[in-house]
Structure 1
Amino acid sequence: MAVYAYQPTGSESEEYHKWYFNTFVWKKTTWMGVNCWKSVADMWNYQEILFELKPSLVIEFGTAHGGSALFFANIMRQIGAPFKVLSVDITHERLEPAARRDPDIVFVESRSTVPAVAEHIQRLKNDFPGKIFAILDSDHTKDNVLAEMKLLRPLLSAGDYLIVEDSTLNGHPVLPGWGPGPYEAIEAYEQEFPDDYTHDVERETKFGWTFAPHGYLIRT
């Protein structure tokens, strides 16, 4: 009966979210010894999505230390189908050797919004045809995220999956003074292209909180 004796107020997940973000525990998280600046709840969601989607191409904008790219490659190898991970960042200064050595990851040092990145994705699509899982976690300004979403628009097909991370910023619910960021980029994109994506709300809310609120998107 103890399970039913306590009923949550609804604020617990938001308070935990604030604690998780503000204590920087996410900066103390590693994957196979490599720094991985993610929510562990989101990472669990991502491996479930990867297993169900079985993409042939994983696209990551925002490499940092390389822990998440390594995570994606490790999961994809367990799935067993041919694949490639493309990870793009404006600098590789923080990229750790253990991630850099992975043979299934292509690391590109570049702005994510330039035409050359779109061309590289298209070449990989030709070599690894199938579903795509993409995640945006680079510059968290509204304009940059919106540009990344628009760059991916002709490259993603029905059923492909897009994660827009750090839409938690600008008061959603952390860092209320951040200014327009990923959350506002999603809103702006959907005003311009209202039929491109459906929201995977069940997945987004599965663990009660996420670093990607409003950002679990399935291409229609």
Structure 2
Amino acid sequence: MDPVEDFRQRVARNIRRIGEDRDFIGLTNIWVRESIRKEYAQNFTWLGRPVIQVPQDVYAIQELIWTCRPDLIIETGIAHGGSLVLSASMLAMLDYCDAIEAGTVLDPRASRRKVVGVDIDIRAHNRAAIESHPMAHKMVTIQGSSIASEVVEQVKAHAQGYDRIMVFLDSNHTHEHVLAELEAYAPLTSKGSYCVVWDTGVEDLPDEMCADRPWGRGDNPKTAVWAYQRLLSAEGRKAADGERLAFETDKTIEHKIAITAAADGFLRRI
């Protein structure tokens, strides 16, 4: 057997076995719960900015962007800007690799690839850090509620002319808000690309861990994902490109990384 194919099959077996191992997944769920108590995800930066993601999800983002090669990434929830910088740097890496393969000189500011980030409150110190970052030329920020009609229209305007679009949803985590985000932004996802809904794990946390939040068990991103999938199945929706809109939950990614803030949240448009 070709060694490349042999290794690919070995990895596929590894991932399948993880998904079938309930004890291992149980240990993972315990680890995720306890890591949240210790604010573990806040410990990491990407190119100097706090990214507020567990490292395994950062790996997943890298693989998704490299595989899908989006020209535009839409993100709700900016915080310190690390996630925007992560997406922007991966888009810059695509530009760099494209230039090498084409044998051309890379002009970093000539590429149309960019990330559009939305947040209801972009604090002054975070805005200053984002705007002064070397990746600033690939980032567009919009302040306002991600489900406000005027904000949605701004994002859609930025999406005009882009064929390969990826979406990350990570702002207010209530069921109602995330479901509204899915209705607004999931249709922009291009076929074969992903709409990723973060912090679905709220559904699996003890009630006391969300006692000071407006979301919790039964009212969170995962319940919104489930509801949106039911709507797509029962009522149908059209994507922005005019075709039928449908997503599959990509459990392969979830089983591969094992530790994630997006269980049931890696939605691949099919």
Instruction: State TM-score, norm by structure 2.
Output: 0.73
Alignment root-mean-square deviation, CA: 2.1
- Higher fraction of helix: 2
SS at match of 1:95: helix
The answer for the alignment partner of 1:161 in structure 2 is: 194
Runs (5+) with no aligned partner, structure 2: 1-20, 96-110, 234-244
The answer for the alignment partner of 1:188 in structure 2 is: 227
The answer for the alignment partner of 1:208 in structure 2 is: 258
How far apart in 2 are the matches of 1:176 and 1:91? 22
Contact 2:186/2:195 (CA < 8 Å) preserved in 1? no
Q: Segments of 4+ in structure 1 off by > 6 A?
A: none
Q: 2:178 aligns with which of 145, 160, 169?
A: 145
Q: Percent identity?
A: 27
Moved more, 43-52 or 93-102: 93-102
Contact 2:44/2:51 (CA < 8 Å) preserved in 1? yes
SS at match of 1:205: helix
Superposition deviation, residue 215 in structure 1: 0.2
SS at match of 2:226: helix
Q: How do 1:32-51 and structure 2 match up within 5 A? A: 32-51=47-66
Q: How do 1:83-122 and structure 2 match up within 5 A? A: 83-93=113-123, 95-101=126-132, 102-122=136-156
The answer for the alignment partner of 2:12 in structure 1 is: none
Structure 1 residue identity aligned to 2:113: F
Superposition deviation, residue 145 in structure 1: 0.2
SS at match of 1:170: helix
- 2:23 corresponds to 1:9: yes
Contact 2:40/2:54 (CA < 8 Å) preserved in 1? no
Superposition deviation, residue 204 in structure 1: 1.6
The answer for the alignment partner of 1:4 in structure 2 is: none
The answer for the alignment partner of 1:27 in structure 2 is: 42
Contact 1:34/1:96 (CA < 8 Å) preserved in 2? no
SS at match of 1:169: helix
Structure 2 residue identity aligned to 1:117: V
How far apart in 2 are the matches of 1:154 and 1:201? 21
Superposition deviation, residue 191 in structure 1: 1.4
SS at match of 1:212: coil
Contact 2:42/2:52 (CA < 8 Å) preserved in 1? yes
How far apart in 2 are the matches of 1:13 and 1:185? 23
Structure 2 residue identity aligned to 1:53: C
Contact 2:76/2:118 (CA < 8 Å) preserved in 1? yes
Contact 1:100/1:107 (CA < 8 Å) preserved in 2? no
Kindly tell me: are residues 160 and 8 of structure 1, through their superposed partners in 2, closer, same or farther at Cα, counting changes over 3 Å?
closer
Instruction: State TM-score, norm by structure 1.
Output: 0.89
Deviations 1:68-115 (A, max 9, x none): 101110111011163110000000116253322311100110100122
SS at match of 1:76: helix
Contact 1:88/1:110 (CA < 8 Å) preserved in 2? yes
Structure 2 residue identity aligned to 1:123: A
